[in-house]
Amino acid sequence: MEKHTTIDTPSTMHDTFGRHLHYLRVSLTDACNLRCVYCMPEDITFQPAASLLQDEEILMLIRVAASLGVDKIRLTGGEPTMRRGLVELVRAIRAVPGIQRVVMTTNGIKLASLARPLAAAGLDQVNISIDSLDPVKFRSITRRGDLDHVWRGIAAAEAAGLTPIKLNCVVTRGFNDDEVVELARLTLTNPWQVRFIELMPLGSVADFQQDQVVPSRVTQARIAAALGPLLPVAGHNGHDPAQPYQLAGAAGQLGFISSVTQPFCAGCNRLRLTADGRLRLCLLRDAEVDLLTPLRAGADFASLQHIMAEGAYHKPWGHRLEEDDIARSREMSQIGG
């Protein structure tokens, strides 16, 4: 049973399980220029701009988080590159005392023109989504994407030094599970980490998603059968959800994120700030803490510290998918993954 004891505002954030929470994923927008089948319905309506955090509000909440020990920020969406003024916002986030690392997850569509300015503003690294190497299939999965734009974004990110390049592939049965070998083959000659992510049932498309989950062990077996043994990489950081492996002689690595079949709750050190100002305590649970309302009502810094720390203290442990307890209050695009 989860405890619900109130706490004094600490200098660092811990939860009832003793996890040190110092990594904040910040959704800059719920909007996206793609409509990936596993992420959102095609006819989704995005939230009005007035209901979303403005730049100064994002910076205020990041300052609060940094005062509580957060030192890493990951910018997400929707698609974060759709945020107006992104480069200047990155520059401002990087200047917040205590923030040591700013990274971003993107679909790469707009990265060709943004990679160098973002690197100059202080962005450290990018994860880029690429769910298929087949342009026709890529468009089918994303419902509108051009794979060539992603390749140009990857090249630009590498040239700008936003490394190590991590490529995210959500493995979806019947859509791209037959491509995992070719995606893994990219690591033979490129110093990238290709990460295979189990599809996570969430939101209005959860019922579809449950039928399309491909366990990591199945993906691993498929790759090993074609390309040889997967060799575990020593020195894995337990806070990184991607279990790292390498093919013999490969320049890069493979990563497997098994959120559904092998949750990594013990090493979870993250919280999520949604684009509309809620502190999401776990991706696969609906519990959230409203920060936008008190912020706009004039709450002072100390009050926001207390609200954030108190919320973080009640971060839950584990999903309940096996009990058919699915988080349905939001689409993946509204949380930022």
pLDDT digit string (tens) for 286-315?
889 999 999 999 999 999 999 999 999 999
pTM > 0.85: yes or no = yes
Distances (CA, A) of 166 to 104, 122, 187, 244: 11, 18, 11, 12
> Comparing C-alpha atoms, which of 150, 75, 160 is closest to residue 116?
160
Instruction: Kindly give the pairing relationship between strand 288-290 and strand 278-280.
Output: antiparallel
Angle formed at CA 180 by CA 259 and CA 35, multiple of 5 degrees: 70
pLDDT of 310 reads 96
Q: pLDDT band at 3, cuts 50/70/90?
A: very low
Query: Alpha-carbon distance 96 to 22, whole Å?
Result: 14
Domain residue ranges of the chain, discontinuous segments joined by +: 23-334
pLDDT of residue 6 exceeding 60, the answer is no
Query: Length of the chain in residues, anyone?
Result: 337
Query: Alpha-carbon distance 13 to 112, whole Å?
Result: 37
Amino acid, res. 301: F
| H or E element at residue 59 | helix 55-67
Distances (CA, A) of 103 to 15, 95, 119, 233: 24, 14, 10, 23
Which of the residue ranges 60-69, 183-192, 252-261 would you say has the lowest mean pLDDT?
A: 252-261
Tokens of residue 165, six digits: 């390049």
Instruction: Kindly give the pairing relationship between strand 23-27 and strand 230-232.
Output: unpaired
Cis amide prior to 228 (ω within 30 degrees):
no
pLDDT of 8 reads 65
pLDDT digit string (tens) for 81-91?
999 999 999 99
pLDDT of residue 157 exceeding 70, the answer is yes
pLDDT of 210 reads 57
**E strand map for 223-311:** 230-232, 243-247, 253-257, 270-273, 278-280, 288-290
Read off the pLDDT of each residue in 267-273 and give the average, rounded to a whole number: 94
Q: pLDDT band at 150, cuts 50/70/90?
A: very high
CATH number of 23-334: 3.20.20.70
pLDDT of 321 reads 55
pLDDT digit string (tens) for 234-262?
988 878 889 999 999 999 999 999 888 88
Contact at 8 Å (CB) between 305 and 299?
Answer: no
Instruction: Kindly give the pairing relationship between strand 243-247 and strand 253-257.
Output: antiparallel
Q: Which residues contact 33 (CB under 8 A, 6 or more apart)?
A: 79, 82, 107, 109, 110, 144, 145
pLDDT digit string (tens) for 192-244?
999 999 987 654 444 445 568 899 999 999 999 999 999 999 988 878 889 99
pLDDT of 203 reads 46
